[in-house]
């Protein structure tokens, strides 16, 4: 605790950086994945699934160091890591989003179409809101993994909570490492609880629906 | 008036509807009756372009639906099926009003219409703010009918709408449907395999066998008095 008390301002700054590096990929990646899950034609789904599965199998450190060579981003710095994490979010969320949309009953989409909803109206009024529970579940998983994966960015020079592991390990300061683990855990928990709450707010019918009258 | 002219639908080698021709008079209830595979659902879905004919035509008041924009056409035709498909995240009132808003009514106008239609189908105003999951199956089906009427259509397509509700509620709904049809002067095309239901509500009954082959059509009285063949006799339980 002494170490944390002495360095709290530094830890707070690392935490903020860490949050930024997690939130941007979560938003960008989810939007791309959700749109993709709706737009990719069914006959391309197997190949898309295979490609994304392969992407997910690339170790994060390897992706961090190869991206600059592929797309010309700075080798050192957050851009690179944010892009790499976004790719992982897309890869993971695409599956969850497809699942979530598949859970929407055909009878609901059929009647909505038959009553004159356009494709876009069907997405906004029917598919998206009804997929919320599945999407939130997927987001909770991907948020936790992104929070922990972002730490690895410290190795390529992004000063986030992962820096506490690298620095603590090199200088043999166990308190620093433990603080890092604790802070990453707290952030992951905040995301998880936050997303759970968002899910509750967006699906009021599931709460009231339980209380049958 | 709805006219089917040699309407045919093939899915690959499977013939769902073959050379189906029939005329549905305005402001009446016409029942398409048949077993599964008779093509009755395929036929009804051709009217609002949910199914496009492989060949042949469907005309509404002399106009080929093929020439109409699908979305606009559907907004002018009500549709109800067995799985009501209400939106679980919207209240009863919102479910009905949403369809009207989408079809271009203002929010106030849509809500006013939604309340009127819900009252017409016998939903208690106390239930307007409930979610569909809080209603019984019969009530959900009533909301489904109100929703189909939200855009004030002249035509109502009903695909085994009361198939999942219990017999007592089912008879209630049949009686009320006939009342609503008279009150609004609707042209209803109703699909069922239930002989009792068909004979109760039909002004005109079309008995279909395989892939849209018409065995007999006419008023329920005509069919029960003079069934054309054994198939008709059997399906009507005579």
SS (H, E, C) chain B: CEEEEEEEEEECCEEEEEEEEEEECCCCEEEEECCCCCCHHHHHHHHCCCCCCCEEEEEECCEEHHHCCHHHHHHCEEEEECCCCCCCCCCHHHHHHHHHHHCCCCHHHHHHHHHHHHHHCCCCHHHCCCCHHHCCHHHHHHHHHHHHCCCCCCEEEEECCCCCCCHHHHHHHHHHHHHHHHHHCCEEEEEECCHHHHHHHCCEEEEECHHHCEEEEECHHHHHHCCCCHHHHHHCCC
User: What chain A residue is nearest to B69 in terms of C-alpha separation?
Assistant: A116
- B55-100, pLDDT tens digit by residue? 999 999 999 999 999 999 999 999 999 999 999 999 999 999 999 9
When pLDDT is averaged across residues B183-210 and rounded to a whole number, the result is 93
CB contact under 8 A, B74 and A114: yes
Percentage with pLDDT > 70 across chain B: 100
State the average pLDDT for chain A.
88
Which of chain A's residues have a Cβ under 8 Å away from the Cβ of B123?
none
The C-alpha atoms of residue B18 and residue B33 are separated, in whole angstroms, by 16
pLDDT-based confidence at residue A138 (cuts at 50, 70, 90): very high
For residue A191, which of A132, A128, A139, A152 has the smallest C-alpha distance? A139
CB-based contact, B151 to chain A, within 8 Å = yes
Partner residue opposite A105 with nearest CB, options B74, B85, B90: B85
CB contact under 8 A, B85 and A212: no
Query: Of B50, B68, B87, B89, which to mutate for an interface test with A (greatest number of A Cβ within 10 Å)?
Result: B89
- In angstroms, what separates the C-alpha of B56 from chain A's closest C-alpha? 21
Which of chain B's residues have a Cβ under 8 Å away from the Cβ of A205?
88-90, 131, 133
Q: Which pLDDT score, from 0 to 100, does residue A152 have?
A: 87
Q: Which pLDDT score, from 0 to 100, does residue A208 have?
A: 57
Q: Which pLDDT score, from 0 to 100, does residue A195 have?
A: 94
This prediction has a pTM of: 0.84
pLDDT-based confidence at residue A211 (cuts at 50, 70, 90): very low
pLDDT-based confidence at residue B19 (cuts at 50, 70, 90): very high
In this structure, are residues A127 and A101 in contact, taking their beta carbons and an 8 Å threshold?
Answer: yes
CB contact under 8 A, A121 and B102: yes
The C-alpha atoms of residue A35 and residue A101 are separated, in whole angstroms, by 11
CB contact under 8 A, B133 and A107: no
pLDDT at B214 over 60: yes
DSSP 8-state secondary structure symbol assigned to residue A104: S
CB contact under 8 A, B79 and A114: yes
- B32-62, pLDDT tens digit by residue? 999 888 899 999 999 999 999 999 999 999 9
């Amino acid at each position: 605790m002494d170490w944390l008390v002495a360095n709290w301002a530094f830890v707070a700054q690392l935490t903020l950086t860490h949050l930024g590096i997690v939130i941007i990929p979560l938003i960008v990646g989810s939007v791309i994945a959700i749109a993709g899950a709706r737009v990719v034609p069914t006959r391309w789904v197997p190949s898309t699934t295979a490609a994304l599965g392969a992407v997910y199998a690339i170790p994060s450190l390897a992706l961090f160091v190869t991206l600059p060579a592929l797309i010309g981003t700075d080798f050192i710095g957050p851009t690179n890591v944010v892009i790499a994490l976004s790719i992982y979010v897309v890869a993971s969320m695409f599956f969850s989003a497809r699942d979530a949309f598949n859970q929407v009953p055909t009878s609901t989409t059929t009647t909505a179409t038959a009553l004159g909803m356009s494709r876009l109206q069907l997405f906004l009024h029917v598919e998206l809101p009804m997929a919320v529970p599945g999407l939130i579940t997927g987001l909770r998983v991907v948020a936790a993994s992104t929070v922990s994966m972002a730490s690895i960015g410290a190795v390529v020079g992004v000063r986030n909570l992962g820096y506490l592991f690298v620095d603590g390990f090199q200088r043999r300061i166990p308190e620093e490492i433990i603080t890092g683990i604790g802070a990453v855990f707290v952030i992951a928990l905040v995301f998880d609880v936050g997303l759970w709450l968002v899910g509750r707010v967006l699906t009021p019918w599931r709460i009231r629906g339980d209380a049958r009258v | 008036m709805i006219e089917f002219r040699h309407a045919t639908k093939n899915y690959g080698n499977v013939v769902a509807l073959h050379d189906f021709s029939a005329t549905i008079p305005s402001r009446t209830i016409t029942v398409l009756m048949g077993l599964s595979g008779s093509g009755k659902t395929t036929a009804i879905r051709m009217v609002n372009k949910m199914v496009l004919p492989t060949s042949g035509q469907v005309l509404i008041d002399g106009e080929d639906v093929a020439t109409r924009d699908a979305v606009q056409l559907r907004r002018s035709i009500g549709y109800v099926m067995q799985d009501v498909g209400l939106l679980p995240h919207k209240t009863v009132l919102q479910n009905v009003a949403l369809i009207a808003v989408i079809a271009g009514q203002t929010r106030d106008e849509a809500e006013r219409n939604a309340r009127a239609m819900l009252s017409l189908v016998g939903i208690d105003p106390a239930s307007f703010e409930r979610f569909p999951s809080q209603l019984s199956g019969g009530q959900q089906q009533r909301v489904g009918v109100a929703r189909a009427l939200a855009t004030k259509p002249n035509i109502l397509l009903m695909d085994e709408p009361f198939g999942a509700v219990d017999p007592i509620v089912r008879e209630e709904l049949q009686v009320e449907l006939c009342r609503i049809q008279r009150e609004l002067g609707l042209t209803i095309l109703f699909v069922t395999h239930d002989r009792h239901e068909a004979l109760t509500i039909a002004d005109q009954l079309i008995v279909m066998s395989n892939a849209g082959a018409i065995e007999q059509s006419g008023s329920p009285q005509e069919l029960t008095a003079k069934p054309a063949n054994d198939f008709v006799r059997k399906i009507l339980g005579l």
